[in-house]
Structure 1
Amino acid sequence: MLASKDVQIRDPFVFPVAEEGKYYMFGSTDANIWGKGTGFDAYVSDDLQHWHGPFPVFRPKEDFFSDTNFWAPEVYFYQGRYYMFATFRRKDNGLLGTAVLAADRLLGPFEPYSDGPVTPESWSSLDGSLFVDEEGQPWMVFCHEWQQVGDGEVCAIRLSVDLNRAVSEPVLLFRASEAPWTTPYLSPRYPDQVNYVTDGPYVFRASSGDLYMLWAGFIDNTYALGIAKSESGRITGPWKHAEKALYQNDGGHGMVFRTFEGKLMLAIHTPNKTPHERPIFLEVLEDGSRIVSVKPSPPVQS
Structure 2
Amino acid sequence: MQEAFEQSEKNGLELIQALEQVEKKRLEFEQAEEKKLELIQEALTPEQTKKKILELIQAIEQVKKESLELIQEAHEQAEKKRLELIKAAHEQAEKSRLEIIQAHKQAEKGLELIQEVHEQAEKKGLELIQEVHEQAEKKELELKQEALEQAEKKRLELMQLKKLGPEFSEKPHPKAIYTSRALSSLISKFSIDFSSINSVSVKQEYITKEYELDINKVQSSSTQNINSSVQVSNFQHQNVSGPSGLLNNLISTVITNSSRKRNIEELEIETQKSKKNRERY
TM-score, normalised via structure 1 length: 0.17
Instruction: Please identify which structure carries the higher strand content.
Output: 1
Between structure 1 and structure 2, the one with the greater Rg is 2
Instruction: Please identify which structure carries the higher helix content.
Output: 2
Q: Which has the higher contact order (CA 8 A, sep 6+)?
A: 2
TM-score, normalised via structure 2 length: 0.18
